Amino acid sequence: SAVISQKPSRDICQRGTSLTIQCQVDSQVTMMFWYRQQPGQSLTLIATANQGSEATYESGFVIDKFPISRPNLTFSTLTVSNMSPEDSSIYLCSVGSGILNEQFFGPGTRLTVL
């Protein structure tokens, strides 16, 4: 399976600021996704990161709040914009070799907003 890294691993931020999270994979992958896990909750899909085009967002998530880039088949970024304490969560990227294939997750970024 692919080796996935995320930066930063954790951060504490002030409300109103923005944080960009990076996801790097050691091999080219077809599918890349971003998830949010709020405290004590399950994982919720934010968006599918599409290489060379705009991300596909799930209901309840918008590009202005969570802009995503995917410049190539091994790298993606998620920005959490204009943060509030409600954005405190673990953010995880995942990858898959095909649309229905097994997904593998990065180690996550633990974000606390004060």
Partner 1 sequence: GIQVEQSPPDLILQEGANSTLRCNFSDSVNNLQWFHQNPWGQLINLFYIPSGTKQNGRLSATTVATERYSLLYISSSQTTDSGVYFCAVYPRAGGTSYGKLTFGQGTILTVHP
Contacts to partner 1 by CB under 8 A: 1, 33, 37, 41-45, 48, 58, 90, 92, 94, 99-105, 107-108, 110
CB of 16 to partner 1, least distance (A): 25
Q: Considering beta carbons, is residue 9 or 82 the nearer one to partner 1?
A: 9
CB of 48 to partner 1, least distance (A): 8
Neighbours of 24 (CB within 10 A): 15
Alpha-carbon distance values, 18 to 21, 41, 53, 56, 82 (Å): 10, 23, 22, 21, 5
